[in-house]
Amino acid sequence: MKTHKNPIRKYLRKTSFWRDNGLIFRELKHFRWLVAIALICTIIGASLEGITVGFIASFVQGLTNPNEPPIQSGIQWFDVWFLATKAPTTERIYRLAALILLLVWLHSVFLYLGRFYSGLSALKLVGRIRKLLFEQLQSLSLSFYSKSRSGELINTITTEGNQLIQACDAAGTVIAKGITVFAYIVAMFCLSWQLSIAAVMMFVLLSAGLSNLVKWLREASFAVPKANGHLASVSVETIDGIRTVQASVTQDFERKRFYGATDAVTQAKKKVLSLSELLKPLAEGVASTILIVIVTASFMMLVQGGELRSSSLLAFMFVLFRMMPLVSLVNSSVGKFNGYQGALNNIQQLLRRDDKVYLENGTIAFTGLTESIDFISVYFGYEENEYVLRNICLSIPKGQTTALVGASGAGKTTLAELIPRFYDPIQGWILIDGVDLRGFEIDSLRRKMAIVSQETFIFNTSVS
């Protein structure tokens, strides 16, 4: 089995669609039963809607041409018990009406279940991804935070997470309505294969024509999370530094920063909005044109030629009228899904592990200092080839009070932060009782240290 699956899996993973959405597919496997229930309910609901169309065709014929032979499927037991072909016209209409109502309500029930479980899957997916983001932020070295803006990180966890829910909703709409469209197409082929081929070809051309618009929408979406992140960063910096802002009377400067960030978000979303909102009316306009052309041509060529019953044409028109908004909705949902690719890409970039620095945990449990802390030829810098500390050699014996004195920016705080392994030296060693600091378990090391931060931060929670 593996030899058959691996080539397909490898091929799928090389596609741009997998690269863009691989995170969603990987994480959905944790909720595979919810996804399966959602798909099953959606397929059943769509199938019931397609079956209903067939009964409506027979129902319309009984109302418009009661003297004509009833529409038959060719399956005798189905025709007798469901289409009521052997029953009188009045009884057939009553039975079909009751059956159509039953199917409509069953379709509504399964439609609700499909939407509920797909929405629940999206909520659980986003919850899991947010936990992955949190674990990623917990495990990263502080060097990552020195290069990142807190507002952008908060934006990724909150705003982009909410947009991921909307992306999942758009994907669910594409799947649900796509299956319904397929059921309608099957019903259309049962009514008239000639008209169905013409309709399908035109709708395929419509989707192909809109693909360029969808591509432009996807490209425009990448600017939105960047603008959102910048706005969040400016907001956080302004709130955290409000004392400094007011003390230095720089409100006008901060106002310009905030207004500029707000306008950038507006412009980024404006471009996405102009493209996404164009999809639906454009699709509806083209689809309406297709409908008029098909109905007119079918009446002139098939109905007048005796190849198609007027009742079948009415049923076909009913299907087309029902399918038109669905095709439009599918196209617009595809556009919306691509409009959220920027948010998804932002999340995937934060979850990447190959471009980030992690502190490798040691294996030795730290029980306490017995002799000394020694710095041996230590080099460290926040940026590559820009050293803050150069060739530091220092020994701090146990029980001795050591003060680090120097000008602002000389590296005093940086030197102190190397001891609890907030960072690792680029070169050299830090030894505790002769053991390399990197050999100790990080948590056991920090639990034995008392650290007083230069900044006061109050967590909004209870100590208990």
Contact 34, 123 (CB under 8 A): no
**Given CA atoms 351, 356, 360, 366 in this order, what sign does their dihedral have?**
negative
* Structural domains in the chain plus CATH codes: 2-351 (1.20.1560.10), 372-447 (3.40.50.300)
Query: What average pLDDT score do residues 332-336 get?
Result: 81
Separation of alpha carbons 104 and 49, rounded Å: 7
CA distances in angstroms from 162 to 153, 179, 180, 227, 340, listed in the order given:
14, 26, 27, 16, 10
Separation of alpha carbons 230 and 258, rounded Å: 9
Q: What is the pLDDT of residue 297?
A: 74
In which band, very low, low, confident or very high, does the pLDDT at 210 lie, cut at 50, 70 and 90? confident
Contacts of 433 (CB under 8 A, 6+ apart): 369, 370, 371, 372
Query: What average pLDDT score do residues 67-82 get?
Result: 62
| Alpha helices in 65-158, H assignment, sequence order | 76-81, 89-139, 142-147, 150-157
pLDDT tens sequence across 157-183: 888 888 888 888 888 888 888 888 888
Query: What average pLDDT score do residues 359-367 get?
Result: 87
Separation of alpha carbons 303 and 69, rounded Å: 17
Query: What average pLDDT score do residues 98-115 get?
Result: 88
**Given CA atoms 385, 389, 393, 398 in this order, what sign does their dihedral have?**
negative
Q: Across the chain, what does the average pLDDT equal?
A: 80
In which band, very low, low, confident or very high, does the pLDDT at 2 lie, cut at 50, 70 and 90? very low
Least confident of 103-107, 291-295, 344-348: 291-295
- Shortest CA distance to 431 belongs to which of 343, 366, 341? 366
Q: What is the pLDDT of residue 81?
A: 64
pTM metric for this prediction: 0.73
pLDDT tens sequence across 118-132: 889 888 988 899 899
Amino acid 230 reads H
Instruction: Name the DSSP class of 140.
Output: B
What are the strands of the beta sheet with 389-397, ordered from one edge?
A: 389-397, 372-380, 427-432, 435-436
Query: What average pLDDT score do residues 25-44 get?
Result: 88
pLDDT tens sequence across 273-288: 887 777 778 777 877 7
Q: What is the pLDDT of residue 1?
A: 42
| Strand spans (E) along 305-380 | 372-380
In which band, very low, low, confident or very high, does the pLDDT at 307 lie, cut at 50, 70 and 90? low
Name which residue leads in pLDDT, 300 or 117.
Answer: 117
Give the burial string for 82-99 (b: 16+ CB within 10 Å, else e).
bbbbeeebeebbebbeeb
Amino acid 417 reads E
> Does residue 16 register a pLDDT over 80?
no
pLDDT tens sequence across 400-418: 888 888 887 788 888 888 9
